């Protein structure tokens, strides 16, 4: 089983690219953000816990997202491969993922990183706020908190994966098609 990670700041276009990649490569797409929003919509206990954190632009506990990832892997034994989007988001999550996959005789095969500037993150998220109505997209303070959290907690993953030879970086400021072609050529 192959495991690919889509990495990058909020608004980098991970969700957009994931949809296209799933059509082309038939991966099973797992977005922890989408899974959490589904729990919120259901009004589950997990969703209620997650909502306050997400709305403020903070991360949800590692144990919650790790549990969701484990369930997705277990529920899709026939997948041709997995495309994780928004996970791992901390070095601690990456370490847990490595152990989990090692137990299955697998590993992360490649990390595809889509990088855009902080200014572009702001612009894209403010634009998305009008389309998707996400509360965490609406308030500039929350957007700034997500950008700061990305730099502090998620960016260190670059140095985690680089020495393993798994890290591939793409500039996310081109057109959707251009970026899709670049990612496709890496997979």
Report how far residue 172's alpha carbon sits from residue 170's, in angstroms, rounded to the nearest whole number: 6
- Indicate the residue among 58 and 109 with the shorter CB distance to ligand ADP: 58
- Nearest approach, Cβ of 33 to ligand ADP (angstroms)? 2
Q: Assess contact for 155 and 97: CB atoms under 8 A.
A: no
Least distance (Å) between residue 167 CB and ligand ADP: 18
Nearer to ligand ADP, 3 or 87 (CB): 87
Least separation, in Å, of the C-beta of 129 and ligand ADP?
11
Q: In whole angstroms, how close is the CB of 142 to ligand ADP at the nearest point? A: 9
Q: Which residue is nearest to ligand ADP (CB)?
A: 33
Residues that bind ligand ADP (CB under 6 A): 10-11, 32-33, 36, 53-54, 57-60, 65, 86-87, 89, 93, 136, 146
Query: Least distance (Å) from ligand ADP to the CB of residue 137?
Result: 7
Query: Nearer to ligand ADP by C-beta: 85 or 167?
Result: 85
CB 12 within 8 Å of CB 4: no
Cβ contacts of residue 19 below 8 Å, gap of 6+? 29
CA distance 82 to 76: 9
d(CA 57, CA 146) in angstroms, rounded, equals 5
Q: How far is CA 74 from CA 7, 64, 99, 100, 130, in A?
A: 23, 16, 15, 12, 36
Which CB, 88 or 167, lies closer to ligand ADP? 88
């Amino acid at each position: 089983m192959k495991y690919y990670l889509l990495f990058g700041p909020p608004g980098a276009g991970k969700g957009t690219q994931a949809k296209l990649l799933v059509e082309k490569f038939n991966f099973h797409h797992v977005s922890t953000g989408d899974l959490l929003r589904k729990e919120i919509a259901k009004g589950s206990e997990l969703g209620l816990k997650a909502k306050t954190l997400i709305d403020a632009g903070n991360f949800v506990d590692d144990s919650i997202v790790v549990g969701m990832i484990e369930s997705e892997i277990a529920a899709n034994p026939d997948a041709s491969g997995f495309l994780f989007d928004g996970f791992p988001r901390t070095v601690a999550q990456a370490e847990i993922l490595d152990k989990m996959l090692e137990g299955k005789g697998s590993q992360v095969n490649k990390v595809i990183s889509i990088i855009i500037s902080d200014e572009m993150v702001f612009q894209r998220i403010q634009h998305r706020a009008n389309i998707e109505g996400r509360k965490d997209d609406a308030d500039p303070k929350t957007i700034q908190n997500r950008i700061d959290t990305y730099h502090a907690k998620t960016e260190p993953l670059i140095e985690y994966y680089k020495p393993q030879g798994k890290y591939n970086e793409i500039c996310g400021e081109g057109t959707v098609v251009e970026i899709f072609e670049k990612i496709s050529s890496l997979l």
